[in-house]
Structure formats: C-alpha cells, structure tokens
Amino acid sequence: MIKEIKTDVAVVGGAGAGCRAAISAAEEGVEVVVLDKGTIGRSGATPCALWSIQAPFGERGMDPRDSPEQMFKDVVVAGRYLGDQNVVEVITSTACDRVLDLEAYGVRFKKTEDGRFYQTPMPGQTYPRSCFMIENGHALSTILAKEASRHRNVWLRNDFLAFSILRKGNRAVGVVGLDLKAGELEAILAKSIVLASGGYTSIWEFSDNPPTMTGDAVAMAYRAGADIVDLEFNQF
C-alpha cells in the first residue's frame, strides 16, 4: 500500500525557483512540501547559474531612464515577439521587487559608493540593467533554501524522486514519487502543485548544466495532459 501524505502545496524541485515558490506559499499561511531528487539548496540548475539578474531600477541603478516599461519592450523585441507578453509583463513589472526580496533574504549585490545597484549593459538592453550578485548561483540557492526552511509550515524533502501527477477528473490532486533512501513509493496529496524541476538539457551529449536536468516535470505534465510549449528554447 502506498503511503499518503496530505499538504496544501507540493513543489517539485528544490533549487531557486522551487524554494522561492515555497517561500511565497508559506507566507500565505499554507502547508508546503518541497520535493527534490537530490539535496535541496545544492541540486538543480541554480547552483550552476552565473551572477547577474536583470531589473530596471532606474534612479536606484545606473541609468534613471530605465523602467519596467522599457524592459518589457526590450524583452519582447529581443525575443522576436515570440514570448508570451502577459508573462513578460509580470516578470518585468516585478523584477525590482524580486531582487529586493533576495537582498532581504541575504543575497548580496554589488553597489556603487552611494548605494545604487551597480549595473552593466548586456545584449538586448537599452540601458544597463544587469544586477550583479557578489556570490554565485550556489550561494543564491543555499540562501533560498535556508529562507524556505525558516518557515515552520515548509517541509523540505531531499532524495525524493517525483515522477507522476495524480489526477481526479481534470484536476491535479497530488504527485507520486519514490523515497530514494527508504525505497518506498509515496503519494503527496495536495490542493496545488508547482512544477519547478528545471529543464531537460541532459538529453543532449554536451551541456554545462548538471546531469540531473532530465526534464522530470515536463514529462509529468505531458503525461497528465498539459500543453507543453517552447520546448525548442534551451540554455545549454
């Protein structure tokens, strides 16, 4: 008989995106379980990430002319109008707040002598917009995992391989996975499921991503009947 565990939110993937999702859910007062087939805070793509994050800080950055509206235009044009503009609008309008969140958690960013974010231009940017972390992606992942663990309503589970989404009619109601240490199957029953387990670059011979990037969440979503988009876009 498969062991059942009930929670409000199940997050598949324990790197940067998964831990950040867990933090947001926990702040709403719900119970959260984060599942990772490796070690949360150390596995996934985030520890391999470089050190810059785009945010249009304007006067708080290197160029007062920059704005969320300008960043939106830059992203849409650089993406050859292929991006979902509703998603782009959400990202660009909240980018500064998310950087400030990271800073509050303990992520350190390079600043000017007068306290502004030090930013340099990257391809596709009208104005300098890249904020530089003093540490790297490993530190970012570690800090986010620590912040998630600070919430009593977040349960971080290492060595848990989620591989299937449970459905009831057209609704996802949980995930099934394997406790890799105990060798036991478990069903995590949840009101909401967040898939944040990274990409699938390990299907190619060469990539600078970790070998655990095997597209688990993409496969789970596809088998559950979800529409999968943008599979042609990868960061190797």
Query: How many Cα neighbours within 13 Å face the side chain of 227?
Result: 2
pTM equals 0.92
* Distance of alpha carbon 1 from alpha carbon 21, whole angstroms: 31
Would you write out the chain's pLDDT as a tens digit for each of its 236 residues?
789 999 999 999 999 999 999 999 999 999 999 999 999 988 888 888 877 899 999 999 999 999 999 999 999 999 999 999 999 999 999 999 999 999 999 999 999 999 999 999 999 999 999 999 998 888 999 999 999 999 999 999 999 999 999 999 999 999 999 999 999 999 999 999 999 998 899 989 888 888 888 999 999 999 999 999 999 988 87
What is the phi/psi pair of residue 204, to 5°? Answer: -100, 160
* Distance of alpha carbon 1 from alpha carbon 195, whole angstroms: 26
pLDDT of residue 45: 87
Domain definitions of the chain by residue range: 3-47+142-223, 51-135
Query: Tokens 């994050």 — which residue?
Result: 53
Topology of 3-47+142-223 in CATH?
Answer: FAD/NAD(P)-binding domain (3.50.50)
Q: Are 9 and 196 in contact (CB under 8 A)?
A: no
